[in-house]
Amino acid sequence: MPASTLRLGVNIDHVATIRNARGGRHPDPVKAALLAVEAGADGITAHLREDRRHIRDDDITRLKARLTKPLNFEMAATREMVDIALKARPHAACIVPERRQEITTEGGLDVVRQHNHLVPVIAEMKAAGIRVSLFIAADEKQIDTAAEVGAPVIEIHTGAWCEAVIDGHNTMAAIEFERIKKGAARARSLGLEVHAGHGLDYQTAETISMLPEIVELNIGHFLVGEAIFTSLSTSIREMRAAMDRGAARRPAS
């Protein structure tokens, strides 16, 4: 796989978090999204939460109007969010858990428990031409059920692995990475497209880019945090380079 076909989705939520701390317009997440695209992002990810903690409705409208790259809308599977997605028609929508009871022990969406709720939601969004993904742990049952409920894409939750790496818990990190590796292979064998994200930094992004099944990484917090020390363009360019280094080490197919 040529390194350049591995996509980087830049999550701009935390630009909005800083803006919202003062309640004004600065820094504008839409301006950050346009800058991210210039710096090499293949898409922009934004999570409209029920409490509008970071991205707001108006940000989604402005993103849709101005973005030249695909918009990936992160959302809970609620009627309100489905209606917003159907109106905004983003390229993709990633269904994430919003409340504690929707989460598996590993932190991803509990697709097994929510099977009956998710089937019509996914069908409705797919019928509107939105590419639906499910943000799940690399758990065999969750992956199999994701395929059953009709989602074409999964995004593997990398949070537990990234935390173990950062905390230097090497045994735990190795176990978590093995789980992600096996999960990615299983998902691909079921015909699912595989994305990954949460907590990734340069090091973990480079490592996970070596997995041949992964076609997209969605990264936000680290990039916005690094921008304090360098710039958003620099952190995105360095992330792109880290991903390309990892992807270049994929096994020959």
Q: Which amino acid, one-letter code, is at 118?
A: L
Q: In this complex, which beta carbon is closest to ligand PXP, that of residue 218 or of residue 251?
A: 218
Place of tokens 């978090």: 17
Among residues 14, 47, 54, 195, which one is catalytic?
A: 47
| Residue 218 engages ligand PXP in binding (rule: CB under 6 A) | yes
- Rule CB under 6 A: say whether 91 interacts with ligand PXP: no
157 as an active site residue: the answer is: no
Size, binding site for ligand PXP by CB under 6 A:
17
- How near is the Cβ of 135 to ligand PXP at its closest, in Å? 4
Q: Pick the stretch among 62-70, 140-148, 178-186, 194-202 that binds ligand PXP (CB under 6 A).
A: 194-202
- Between 155 and 176, name the residue whose CB sits nearer to ligand PXP: 155
Selecting among 98, 157, 198, 226, the annotated active-site residue is 198
In whole angstroms, the minimum distance from the beta carbon of 186 to ligand PXP comes to 19
Contact window for ligand PXP (CB under 6 A) among 17-25, 79-87, 182-190, 217-225: 217-225
Based on the residue annotation, tell me whether 54 is a catalytic residue of this protein.
no
206 binds ligand PXP (CB under 6 A): no
11 binds ligand PXP (CB under 6 A): yes
Four-residue CA torsion sign, 132, 97, 46, 40: negative
Q: How many residues would you count in the chain?
A: 253
Q: Please enumerate in sequence order all residues whose Cβ is within 8 A of that of 219, keeping only pairs 6 or more positions apart, or say none.
A: 8, 9, 10, 11, 197, 200, 205, 239
Half-sphere exposure of 88 (CA within 13 A, CB side): 30
Q: Would you call 47 a catalytic residue per the annotation?
A: yes
Pick from 135, 125, 28: nearest CA to 86: 125
Query: Does 94 participate in binding ligand PXP (rule CB under 6 A)?
Result: yes
Residues binding ligand PXP (CB under 6 A) = 11, 13, 47, 74, 94, 96, 135, 155, 197-200, 218-222
Active site residues: 47, 74, 198
